[in-house]
Amino acid sequence: TIYLDNNATTPMHEDVIEAVNEANTLFGNASSMHSYGREAAMAIEESRKALASLIDCDPSSIVFTSGASESNNTVFNIFRERIDLGSKRNRIVTTTIEHPSINELVKYLKNLGYHVDECPVDHSGRVDLEVMKTYLGEDVALVSVMAGNNEIGTIQPVKEIARLAHEVGAYMHSDATQAIGKIPVSMRNWDVDYLSLSGHKFYGPKGIGVLAVKAKAPHTPLIHGGHQEGGRRAGTYNTASIVGIGVAAALAERDLEEESKKLWTLREMLRKGIEERIPNVVVNGNQEYCLPGTLDVSFPHAEGESILLYLDMEGIMVSTGSACASGSLEPSYVLLASGVDIELAHGSIRFSFGRYNTEDDVAYVLEKLPPIIKRLREMSTR
Ligand code: PLP
């Protein structure tokens, strides 16, 4: 089988599995003062350092969470509370193509009456700084823009947006979940106040993530309880997963250059192969500012879900643009917000590469995909 759905999740690296298995014996509660507790706490602090190094921030900024969804919700909750308490900065600015853990949260907050603006993106899914400027003002509390898009791979000018946000006195958050291990991520260089990431997107365990919070940025826990993480996130430490994400972080940092080159090579092989072998295809997203392993393609007159299922029968696993909305057959909101025609959005497939993919995988897809598209187009009534 060929797994080309690495933006949905990745398998754990063998070093991660080994470290997690070993850390599962560290059963002491990391908050306990006795030696079992201290042993676990030490392992957690090692992991914290590895994550801080990966995203270039102080270890004290790292707050372990259950994943990027929780991290994103935590950030918005901080500013929701400030707004509730009467802050004059009562507006949040984000974009139309954020991950559902922000996009759906925004819908929820708007329903409750909060003022949230979603800055539109251009036809490549990228934020235009001039457009962003028109959304910013002295009433903005938080600007939240993802680093790289999970569907189309478009990379946002986070550093430039952070500068604009700070110019009007707002705080800046970036969901860097898809960027980790693929492009350099630096909290210091980007000058963002909050950053989210998730272990399972870079060969770490599922259900573990990070919210990095700069020392001077406001914080309120989403989950109240014990004093873990300096009172920033309650709940008994998930020691084994925290150790696992630490090992994954070290690997991601070590292999960044090599991996991103490899991912881009495979992605470009597939893109060119598809464009050569299949007529009438549209490649979505920004081709200059693009996560190296992501390729999103629309096949007019073929339904994305049908392509996915036919590919699956050949042992090839991909996703439709609307992966996070799967179950519904709605076209991807990310593509629609990028101005992609609804017809094209229905026929889109996301191929996302990872460290275990090879050139043989690409060759196999290029053998199996063209006849599938041809057959579906022949059957199509549209
Ligand atoms: N943000 C982005 C950009 C993602 O791709 C994902 C993954 O689905 C998430 C957030 C959510 O991560 P998690 O499922 O670990 O909460």
Q: What is the pLDDT of residue 343?
A: 86
> Is 153 close to ligand 1, i.e. is its CB under 6 Å away?
no
How far, in Å, is the centroid of ligand 1 from the Cα of 349? 19
Instruction: Say whether domain 14-251 belongs to CATH 3.40.640.10.
Output: yes
Residue 334 burial by Cβ neighbours in a 10 Å radius (0-12, 13-18, 19+)? buried
Query: Residue 75 has which token pair?
Result: 């950030």
How far, in Å, is the centroid of ligand 1 from the Cα of 145? 14
Atom nearest to 149 CA in ligand 1: 3
Q: What is the pLDDT of residue 324?
A: 44
Query: What is this structure's pTM?
Result: 0.97
Q: Tell me which of 150, 158, 352 to substitute to probe ligand 1's pocket, judged by most ligand atoms within 8 Å of the beta carbon.
A: 150
Spatial distance between the Cα atoms of 382 and 373, rounded to a whole number of angstroms: 14
Strands 319-320 and 348-352 turn out to be antiparallel
Query: Residue 332 has which token pair?
Result: 């991807």
Helix (H, G, I), strand (E, B) or coil at 284: strand
- Measured CA to CA in angstroms, residue 66 lies from 74, 234, 245, 333 at distances of 11, 11, 11, 26
Q: Tell me which of 72, 99, 158, 294 to substitute to probe ligand 1's pocket, judged by most ligand atoms within 8 Å of the beta carbon.
A: 99
CATH of domain 2-8+256-373: 3.90.1150.10
Spatial distance between the Cα atoms of 353 and 6, rounded to a whole number of angstroms: 6
How far, in Å, is the centroid of ligand 1 from the Cα of 69? 6
Which residue's CA lies nearest to atom 9 of ligand 1? Answer: 68
What are the start-end ranges of the E strands in the chain?
2-3, 62-65, 91-95, 115-119, 140-144, 171-175, 194-198, 209-213, 282-284, 294-298, 316-317, 319-320, 348-352
Q: Is the ipTM of this complex over 0.90?
A: yes
How far, in Å, is the centroid of ligand 1 from the Cα of 71? 10
> Is 144 close to ligand 1, i.e. is its CB under 6 Å away?
no
How far, in Å, is the centroid of ligand 1 from the Cα of 180? 12
pLDDT tens, N- to C-terminus, the chain (382 residues): 999 999 999 999 999 999 999 999 999 999 999 999 999 999 999 999 999 999 999 999 999 999 999 999 999 999 999 999 999 999 999 999 999 999 999 999 999 999 999 999 999 999 999 999 999 999 999 999 999 999 999 999 999 999 999 999 999 999 999 999 999 999 999 999 999 999 999 999 999 999 999 999 999 999 999 999 999 999 999 999 999 999 999 999 999 999 999 999 999 999 999 999 999 999 999 999 999 999 999 999 999 999 999 999 999 999 997 644 455 678 899 999 998 988 888 889 999 999 999 999 999 999 999 999 999 999 886 5
What are the start-end ranges of the E strands in 72-208?
91-95, 115-119, 140-144, 171-175, 194-198
Which residue's CA lies nearest to atom 8 of ligand 1? Answer: 8
Q: Which sequence spans correspond to the domains of the chain?
A: 2-8+256-373, 14-251
Atom nearest to 98 CA in ligand 1: 3
> Is 322 close to ligand 1, i.e. is its CB under 6 Å away?
no
Q: Is 324 a catalytic residue?
A: yes
Q: What is the pLDDT of residue 327?
A: 56
